[in-house]
Chains A and B, each alone.
Chain A
Amino acid sequence: MNIIVCGSLVPDPLQTLEPIAGPTGPALKNEMMLPSWLDPWAGHALYEAANLAAKTPGTKVYLVSLGPKAKLQQVMMTVAQKVPFELVALDGPAGGFTDAAETAAALAAAIQSIPGLNLAETLVFGGWESASRGAGATMQIVGEILGVTEQFQGVDSLEVQPDGSLKIMERVEGGKHQISVCSGAPAVLGWATGSLPEPRNNPQVGMANMRGIMPSLQKAKPAPVTTGDIAFASVSLPKQTRDTKIVKDTPPEDIAAEIVAWIKG
C-alpha cells in the first residue's frame, strides 16, 4: 500500500497578516518574508500516514507539496525530522487566494507522475481544509481527477481492519463522529486533527529524508497556479475591536451576580 499526503505551507500563525493587492490578485504583505509552517491539518495527515505505515509493512509515504521552492526547503528542514517520507515537490504559489481547482489539478498530476504508483492500492491523505485558503475543496477535486469516489472529510480516526477494509470516523455536526466502513483503497481522506501528538524530532529520520528531499526540490516542476476565474471585489481585515469595559477590584460575589444576570438576560 502507498499513502500520498497532500500538504502545503502556511504562514506561521503568530505572524500578523495583512492583505495587499498584488499583480495577479490579492496577496499577503511581505509574503515571502513570513516564516512558514507545514499546514497544521496536513501535518496531522502526515503523522497519521506515518503511523499507519509503521504498522503496515511495505507501506510507503509520499508528501506531495506545492509551494515556492525556497519556502519548501525551509519548511522541509523541520518536517523531515518528524517522520519518514519521500517528497514530491511542486514549485508554485501556496497563498490562500489561489484557486483550489487549479491547485488540485497540479497535485493530481504530480500524484499520477509518481513512478510505479498503483492507485488501486493507494490512500490519498490531506488536511480537510488548509489554514490559508480554508476552502475544504482541494482534496475532493484531487480525488475526482484521480477517479476516487470513496472520500471522507474531517477524519479523526482510520483503522485498517484484518480484511483490509477501512473503518473511518469523520466529524459531523453536534460534536459527533460518523463511523463508516469502506471496502478498501483507493480512498481520499481529509484529516481533521486525528489523535496523534506531533512526533519528536529524530535527526536520523531527518538525515534519511533529506537525501531524497534535496533532489526532489531541485527537480520540482513549476506549478503556476493562479486565482483562476475568481474576481475579488475586496479583501480586508476584520474590524473587531470592541470598547472593552474593564471591571477590577470587585468582589467575586458581585461579578458572579452580574454574569448570572447577563446569562439569563
Chain B
Amino acid sequence: MNLLLLHTESDGGLAKSSLEALSATIALGGPFAVGIVGESTQAAADAIATCGAARFLTVTGPDYGQARYATDAAAAEALARSAGAEIITAPATSRWNRVLPGVAHRLGGKADTHITGLTISEGKPAATRWFYRQRMEAVFTRTSRPWLLALEGGIAPAWSGAAGTAATEAVTPAASPRTQVTGFAAPSSDQQTIRPDADLLFVTGAGWTKKQPDGEVKTAEAETIILDFLRITRSSLGSTKSLVDLGGEGVAVLPFLSHMNQVGQTGSTPRHPKGLSTCCHGEEPHTVGWRFIGERRAISLDANCGWSRGKADVLYVADAFAVMRKVNELLA
C-alpha cells in the first residue's frame, strides 16, 4: 500500500498543493492510505472522503497544529508504520520538506525532495527532479523501501471530488518537543511582495539602480514605478542576486528587496503562469529563476541579454523606466 501524507492548514482545510499530491498519488495506481496531521483533521479527511483511499489515518491534537520537526517527524513515522507503506508521498511544503528525510532514516528507507514528475516505469515508480539548482534534470528510481517523495506544486491537477464522511483511524505518536512555534513574521499585506499564487512574476534587475541616459541614478523613481506596478497588478516580485546583494552590502538601493525575493541559482525558482523581467542581465546561473515560468517577456536595453535571448518569448529593447511608467498609467 502507498501512503499520502498531508497536513492541515490554519483553517483546518487542505492546501492546493495537498490536492495536487493526492492526484499524483492516485495516478501511481494501487491501494493507498491518506495520513493527515493537524490540530483537527476530520474536516480535511471529509473533504477528500471520496478520493478512493483505503484508509484515512490521522494524528490529531494541538501539538500537531504546529509545524515543528519533533512532532511532525513523530507523526509521519507513526503514520508510515501504521500504514506499512512502501511508497510515501507528500506535498513539498516547508513542513514536509523539513521532516521527510529524517523520517526516511527512522524507517530505514530513503527520501527525495523537489520531485517534479512521478510516473510508473516497468511497474516501479520513477521520479524526476532537478540537480545543480535546476541546471540539469534526472529521472531515477530507488530500490530502498519505504521511499518517501516530496512532490512539488503543479505536479498534477488538484483533485476535485465530492466531499463525504471519512472513517478515520487515530494514530498516536510519541514526541517530546523542546520547541514552541510562537508566531510568524511577514510584511503587512500592502508591503508583501512575494505572492506565490500570483499570475505574474515581475523580476527586477540591477539596471534599475544604474545611471540612466541623462547620467542620473533614479532609485526613488524606480521604487515608485515598481511598487505601483505591484500594487496595481498584485504580481509577485522577484529579483536578481546582484540587486539583492547590493542592498545586503549596505548600498541604498531598493529597500523592499531582500534575499527572499531572489530568484535564480542561489534563490528560488517560483512557478507562475507569466513572467516579466526588467533591467535584468546575466547568463545561465540567473536564468534558472525563469525555469518554471510559463509565458515570459522581458524589457532590456541589451538585445543579447542572457535573461532574454532564447529564454523569453518576447524581448522589448527599450527603457524600462519609460515603458513601465506607461504600463502603470494604462493599468491605473
Residues of A within 8 A of B (CB): 10-11, 13-14, 16-17, 19, 26, 40-41, 96-97, 99-101, 104, 129, 131-138, 140-141, 143-145, 149-154, 156, 169-184, 192-193, 195, 197, 228-238, 240-250, 252-253, 255-257, 259-260, 262-263
In the complex with contacts A131-B133, A231-B140, A140-B99 CB distance below 8 A:
yes
In the complex with contacts A101-B110, A135-B101, A153-B94, A235-B138 CB distance below 8 A:
yes
Q: For residue A154, which residue of chain B has the nearest CB?
A: B94
**Complex Cα distance A135/B98, Å?**
11
- The residue that B130 contacts in the complex, of A134, A144, A154, with Cβ under 8 A, is A134
- The residue that A177 contacts in the complex, of B184, B303, B311, B319, with Cβ under 8 A, is B184
Inter-chain contact B114/A134, CB cutoff 8 Å:
yes
Mark out the residues of chain B between 165 and 186 whose CB falls within 8 Å of any chain A CB in the assembled complex.
175, 177-186
Inter-chain contact A180/B266, CB cutoff 8 Å:
no
Q: Closest Cβ of chain B: how far from A181's Cβ, in Å?
A: 5
Q: For residue B122, which residue of chain A has the nearest CB?
A: A233
**Complex Cα distance A209/B74, Å?**
41
Which residues of chain A have C-beta atoms less than 8 A from B323's C-beta?
Answer: 252, 255-256, 259
Inter-chain contact A257/B330, CB cutoff 8 Å:
yes
**Complex Cα distance A81/B100, Å?**
36
Which residues of chain B have C-beta atoms less than 8 A from A140's C-beta?
Answer: 69, 98-102, 105
**Complex Cα distance A178/B72, Å?**
15
Q: Closest Cβ of chain B: how far from A22's Cβ, in Å?
A: 13
Q: Closest Cβ of chain B: how far from A243's Cβ, in Å?
A: 8
In the complex with contacts A149-B70, A180-B180, A181-B179, A262-B259 CB distance below 8 A:
no
- The residue that B318 contacts in the complex, of A137, A154, A252, with Cβ under 8 A, is A252
Chain B positions 313 through 328: 1 when the CB is less than 8 Å from some CB of chain A, otherwise 0 = 1111111001111110
**Complex Cα distance A149/B142, Å?**
26
In the complex with contacts A248-B317, A256-B330, A144-B102 CB distance below 8 A:
yes
Which residues of chain B have C-beta atoms less than 8 A from A138's C-beta?
Answer: 101
In the complex, B79 has a CB within 8 A of chain A:
no
Which residues of chain A have C-beta atoms less than 8 A from B312's C-beta?
Answer: 242, 244
Inter-chain contact A197/B318, CB cutoff 8 Å:
no
Q: List 13 A-B contacts (CB under 8 A).
A: A13-B285, A134-B130, A134-B132, A145-B105, A149-B175, A153-B94, A172-B67, A174-B194, A250-B318, A255-B316, A256-B323, A259-B276, A260-B331
